[in-house]
Structure 1
Amino acid sequence: MTQRATQRPEGFKKPAHWSDAPPPAPAAPKDEADPDGLSPTRYGDWVKKGIAIDF
């Protein structure tokens, strides 16, 4: 079994765009009003030609 590298090769330089800062926290979801009623992606029902379809 090959051992996993735990150190960078000698002479490796970190690119300027790399950061040691942790990633930002995800933004809270926006609660937008659905003009057609209940959101099908939230409730799982889609209406096509007046018929509700459930995937």
Structure 2
Amino acid sequence: MSAKYLAGFVAICGLDVAGLDYHQQAKASENGLNMKGYLVRCHRVLVSQTA
């Protein structure tokens, strides 16, 4: 497998995981979730884990 195919595979897997996480977060949200709200929520989680 060449480096291009491996990089493409990794990128697709990353997008798939991010899409699934976004879907689950939006489903758990009471009134939906836009992209800005999702990014803010992810930032809060990352900051709370490093503190």
* TM-score after normalising by structure 2: 0.20
Q: Which has the higher strand share?
A: 1
Q: Which has the higher helix share?
A: 2
Greater RCO, CA 8 A, separation 6+: 2
Q: Which has the larger radius of gyration?
A: 1
* TM-score after normalising by structure 1: 0.20
